[in-house]
């Protein structure tokens, strides 16, 4: 979905859709189709291929814009978010790589090797190992999204990881990032900004954090 520009008098205002716009579009779409709950993803794609892709696009944009990692969601709300991203992934798995690339073109970034990050060439090399006219499939779905290079999908997968992490915590787990680094022998400290000290989470030792002082000379007097 593109950004829009709205005239306000003689000024041109940059208008970008937000979560409310995507939510409204999803509701209108669901009311228009009316039989989404009665069809499997495969039947939906077969019967209404264009609508299937429009609906998937709206869901991906909505999730990226609506989920707030800093929000205090209840356990039931986290479950609903988790079921939503699971449903989106199931829809992605029904598409072929070729169809997905038409929906979300690979970003035209070509300097990934220089900065040791993914780019257009990396993504093309990954997809070339697949049959681009065969459905992505359940066995490839999550990895395909992780390896894909498109800013909308990057944002979606960051949100996806946040929801998976919150779901893990809701079932008694700890932060996935902390668990991973601790498994690699790296431990975290907890910083109490208001009190100005840091605690070693392993030993319990407390360390005073000194605020940095401006060492630049005053060049001008006012």
Helix H, strand E, coil C: the string for 80-133 is: HHHHHHHHHHHHHHHCCHHHHHHHCCCCCCCCHHHHCCCCHHHHHHHHCCCCCC
| Predicted local distance difference test score (pLDDT) of residue 214 | 58
pLDDT per residue over 194-220, tens digit each? 777 788 877 878 888 777 655 555 544
| Predicted local distance difference test score (pLDDT) of residue 92 | 97
Angle of helix 151-170 relative to helix 176-183, nearest 10 degrees, comes to: 80
Q: Report the share of the chain in percent with pLDDT over 70.
A: 86
| Predicted local distance difference test score (pLDDT) of residue 3 | 52
| Predicted local distance difference test score (pLDDT) of residue 5 | 47
Q: Is 15 helix (H, G, I), strand (E, B) or coil?
A: strand
| Predicted local distance difference test score (pLDDT) of residue 7 | 47
| Predicted local distance difference test score (pLDDT) of residue 204 | 77
pLDDT per residue over 30-39, tens digit each? 887 776 667 8
| Predicted local distance difference test score (pLDDT) of residue 219 | 47
Low-confidence ranges of the chain (pLDDT < 70): 1-15, 35-37, 212-222
Q: What is the DSSP string of 140-159?
A: THHHHHHH---HHHHHHHHH
Classify 175 in phi/psi space as left (phi over 0), alpha (psi -120 to 50) or beta.
Answer: beta
| Predicted local distance difference test score (pLDDT) of residue 33 | 77
| Predicted local distance difference test score (pLDDT) of residue 12 | 55
């Amino acid at each position: 979905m593109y950004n829009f520009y709205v005239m306000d008098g003689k000024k041109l205002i940059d208008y970008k859709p937000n979560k409310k716009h995507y939510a409204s579009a999803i509701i209108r779409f669901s009311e228009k189709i009316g039989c989404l709950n009665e069809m499997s993803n495969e039947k939906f794609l077969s019967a209404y291929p264009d609508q299937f892709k429009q609906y998937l696009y709206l869901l991906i944009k909505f999730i990226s814009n609506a989920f707030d990692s800093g929000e205090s969601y209840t356990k039931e709300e986290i479950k609903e978010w988790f079921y939503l991203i699971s449903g989106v992934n199931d829809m992605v798995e029904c598409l072929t790589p070729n169809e997905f690339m038409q929906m979300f073109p690979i970003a035209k970034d070509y300097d990934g090797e220089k900065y040791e990050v993914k780019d257009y060439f990396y993504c093309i090399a990954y997809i070339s190992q697949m049959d681009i006219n065969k459905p992505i499939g359940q066995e490839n779905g999550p990895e395909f999204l992780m390896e894909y290079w498109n800013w909308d999908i990057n944002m979606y997968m960051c949100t996806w990881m946040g929801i998976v992490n919150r779901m893990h915590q809701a079932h008694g787990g700890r932060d996935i990032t902390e668990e991973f680094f601790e498994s690699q022998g790296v431990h975290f400290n907890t910083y109490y900004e208001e009190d100005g000290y840091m605690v070693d989470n392993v030993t319990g030792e407390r360390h005073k954090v000194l605020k940095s002082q401006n060492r630049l000379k005053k060049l001008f007097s006012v």
